[in-house]
Homo-oligomer: A and B are copies of this chain.
Amino acid sequence: MEYTLSKIATNDGHGENSAFFDGWKAYDSDPYHPTKNPNGVIQMGLAENQLSFDLVQEWVKKNPKASICTNEGVDDFKEIAIFQDYHGLPEFRNAVARFMERVRGNRVRFDPNRIVMSGGATGAQETLAFCLADSGDALLVPTPYYPGNDRDLTWRTGIQLLPVVCESSTGFKITREALETAYKKAQDSNIKVKGLLLNNPSNPLGTTIDKQTLTESLTFTNEKQIHLICDEIYSATVFDQPGFTSIAEIFEENPKSYNPNLIHIVYSLSKDLGFPGFRVGIIYSYNDTVTNCARKMSSFGLVSTQTQHLIASMLSDDEFVDRFIPESAKRLAKRHEILTRGLAQVGIGSLKSNAGLFCWMDLRRLLKEATFEAEAELWRMIIEDVKINVSPGAPFHCSEPGWFRVCFANMDDEAVRVAINRIHEFVMIVQTKKQRYIRRGKLEVSLSFRRLDEIMMGSMKMSSPHSPMSSPLVRAMT
């Protein structure tokens, strides 16, 4: 070809070919449906919050004026459709700021004039990257982390993400030591570190970051005079103790101790309300220059005014918000309990968690060997035999193979029941060796189960003698 495209278009910076995306494709070609395709793949790889739409739909029916497409609201159609100020509708900014305060138990204040829109948290992350760092610069990110970060923060900006290695032995806690190690490593390689990106609560861990760790992290970035970006997209999904602490609280408790120009929050309604389709992303920076610059950049990904208008009405309805937040958390707690108990019944553990739309499942001892190749092999087996799409730890940059993210809020109770049954059956079959499924004549399945069985035998051999196991499957650390 005589013409050329850009380097960005021809490199693989988007990373869509990772296993994270492969799993979605497997699901897409054979999706589970209770009646039409009961043996299809169950999608547990999507961090979606579908549990409380009845509350939303009920509200929508009761509030026809919230929409510009109802008889009650259509008179506003023109004004809303032509509104193109990148500051956003004032009522939208107010409502979002207020909602963010409520989610944080009204312990902090958010200035509506600092609310900057973006195309989801996806757009927010990229915008902040463009504002804070030049091509070649780096941000530190504790592992495991949301794989989309690689695309969102680095692809078009040319910046790099450097891992801060966190380990299961400490519950994947972010330590000052790990931060310093990562920072030093970058310095040794002559890479300019411009900031630290935290995700609180964490995807994929499903845990909130405790106050002390947040304080330490902020002290670290403040000392180094680098930026702290907190992605708090899962803030309203906290369903258990300890509760959620926002970086805004740490800052406001000791505003004199930290340079506000270095603190930035990313938010979105994709998870807390479950509206990823609406693309409502928010950048909240305490830095005026960043706020102004990000707002100008928001022209590339403004929120549709049709959606701003709806969200403004919905989130300024205190009664609705006061009911939605706790009810949604309650339902997530229940779903989390059903899944983790179901797993525990057959000896599968997961990291103790209190937030998010997923749990972080420990299948380390199921691995043939402690490598990411073995993790990928196990993952393919889970897709092909158990027909559940979970996400392996590798694309999350987890430092230890064998962890898997299992999403639990993107399906109905029945699908969860089927998924748990499948896992149970799978484990039972493995436990009773080949007899049962050969009797049933499940020849094709037996072949791959045999493969799994061999792996598990290997894994058994590997498991340490001082932890005698009744099952090759592991009760994980919790």
- Which residues from chain A sit less than 8 Å from chain B, CB to CB? 1-10, 14, 16, 48, 50, 53, 56-57, 60-61, 64, 66-71, 74-75, 77-78, 80-84, 119-120, 122-123, 126, 130-134, 137, 151-152, 156, 194, 225-227, 259, 261-262, 270, 274-279, 287, 289-290, 293, 296-297, 299-307, 310, 410
Contact = CB atoms under 8 A, between A and B. Distances in A.
A147 B274 CA distance: 38
A61 B74 contact: yes
A55 to B, nearest CB: 11
A347 to B, nearest CB: 33
Contacts of A81: 53, 56, 274-278
Contacts of A80: 277
B307 A126 contact: no
A304 B303 contact: yes
B225 A2 contact: yes
Nearest to A53: B78
Contacts of A74: 57, 60-61
A194 B4 CA distance: 8
Contacts of A130: 6, 8-9, 156
Contact of A56 (B9, B77, B133, B278): B77
A8 B131 contact: yes
B304 A279 contact: yes
A224 to B, nearest CB: 9
A289 B9 contact: yes
B131 A50 contact: no
Nearest to A119: B301
Contacts of A270: 84
Contacts of A64: 69-71
A361 B259 CA distance: 51
Contacts of A14: 293, 296
A296 B151 CA distance: 10
A122 B60 CA distance: 31
Given A71-B61, A130-B6, A261-B3, A279 B293 contact: no
